[in-house]
Amino acid sequence: MAAPSRRALLRGGAAAGAAGLLSACGGRRDAVVHADAGAWRRYAGTTLNFVSENTAPTAAIVAGLRPFTELTGIRVNIVTLELSALAQKVALDFASGNGEYDVVYADPYLVLAPYAPAFADLREFQEDPALPRLTGGFEDFVPSHLEAAGRFEDPGKVLALPYDCPTMVWQYRADLFARHRDRMADDLGFDPMPSDDTTWEQYYAIAAWFNDRTDDVRYGTGHQAKQHDALMCDFSNLLWSWGGDYFDDGERVGRLGTTDPGPCRLRSDAAVAGAEFYERLLRIADPASRTWDWDGVGAGFRAGRFAMCPNWHEYAAANEAAVPGKVGYARLPKGPARSAGMYGGTGIAVSNIVPAERRRAAWLFLAWATAPRTQRAGLASEAGGGTPTRTSVYRHPRVAAAEHRPSAMPNMLSSRAVRTTWQPENIGLRPKIPMWGECDTALYTEVSRMLAGDASPAAAMRSAADRIDRIVSRGWVG
């Protein structure tokens, strides 16, 4: 979904990660238990190649791969790359027909949508009586994750298993909010503590209050507003909150995806209103926001430059390490239409161009890597951090306990906010279309011009829509 550095902050030592995997699995080396051990050993001696973005879950898998090898006899070579480089590698592999990679980190927008026919339908393996089945089945995955990260157009096929799920939430200095709560309430006329009733206009007022009324931080809010994919993510939260969207039936285009999204809807009054508010909000934000992606705003927040920001929930572990006990998490504020938090999760998939035996061996890796035990281990691993995609993981007593400090799994401190965001009415899903990479660039280029004062919000939205229509029209007849 995004550049690898966003998650690099969550990584630690490989030895600790391996120990964490074993510990989280109750000391067992078989992190996935199956009645028929022979089914797991069927492809012993096989070597698989897995290409992934450099993410926290993959860091934990790399550090703790030994249990899988001992369970199956399968060796796995794992290559980690920056996302755009990964997409290029996968495209070349599919175009050449070489089948170099058996398991692919299938970003929904840059990999799954453009190359959906090159991935195996995972129902084939789940329904094969000779192969191990998924613990809990497909039903154990968070429903919105399975649709957004696992399917493309056909609601029946499952092309990827949800593997990670970074989602944008409201991160705030809870200690400063508590210290100034009464003063802010008196000055602003409302309770400033983040809640499901907080609006974006109130967020703006809180940010302005911190700018003007305290020296605890220099600014009230910070943003990932660099001319970069991060700007699209940050802006989209406001676009959706005001009732705007990129295409008609944006929910369907985000959930299942399409090769034919129709004309762009960024010219709408709702889209322009969302852009107008975003421009106004950025005027009072930390000026460095326009130089930051998610890593930059995360570092600025931990350094105490500003009191709050929208950012990916997986930064909870890094926040806790830098400012322990001082950060709170909430669903993003609501606009006139709704609250919306960008979902950035990805699935892992099996290449359909590799030989059948390697596809089946790859299924064993998918089943193990996304198993509840493995995901719980990733949460506890010092090498990773983890963002589980299984509903059963969040119900596990040790995981539920980690929602409170002191937490052995600090990413769980943001879990209540993020699980609320995953509800259908709150989740923000960008268009899952084959040409999204180009559309993304068009959008953040025009929004960047708006923030620089080179275009009005209405002009920026018109220009973005014009560019997106030209890109999309190559693939559909309107």
Whether the predicted pLDDT of 29 surpasses 50? no
pTM of structure: 0.91
Q: Treating both helix axes as pointing N-terminal to C-terminal, what angle do 229-241 and 294-302 enclose, rounded to 10 degrees? A: 80
Least confident of 254-268, 373-387, 392-406: 373-387
Whether the predicted pLDDT of 32 surpasses 90? no
Q: 69 pairs with which residues across the strands?
A: none
Q: 76 pairs with which residues across the strands?
A: 48
Whether the predicted pLDDT of 62 surpasses 70? yes
- Structure confidence at residue 19 (pLDDT): 37
At residue 107, φ and ψ (nearest 5 deg) are -50, 130
> What letter represents residue 383's amino acid?
A
The H or E element spanning position 77 is strand 75-81
Q: 53 pairs with which residues across the strands?
A: 81
Q: pLDDT tens digits, residue range 235-250? A: 999 999 999 999 999 9
- Structure confidence at residue 300 (pLDDT): 98
Which runs of consecutive H residues, i.e. helices, occur in 285-405?
294-302, 316-322, 356-369, 372-380, 391-395, 397-401
**Span 192-204, mean pLDDT?**
97
pLDDT band at 142 (very low <50, low <70, confident <90, very high): very high
Q: What is the mean pLDDT of the chain?
A: 92
Which residue, among 299, 307, 309, has the nearest Cα to 326 in the 3D structure? 307
**Span 17-23, mean pLDDT?**
37
Token couple for 31: 């992190």
pLDDT band at 37 (very low <50, low <70, confident <90, very high): confident
Whether the predicted pLDDT of 316 surpasses 60? yes
Top pLDDT among 362 and 22 is at 362
Least confident of 26-30, 104-108, 473-477: 26-30
Whether the predicted pLDDT of 442 surpasses 90? yes
**Span 188-208, mean pLDDT?**
98
**Span 126-146, mean pLDDT?**
96
Percent with pLDDT over 90 in the chain = 88
**Span 378-405, mean pLDDT?**
91
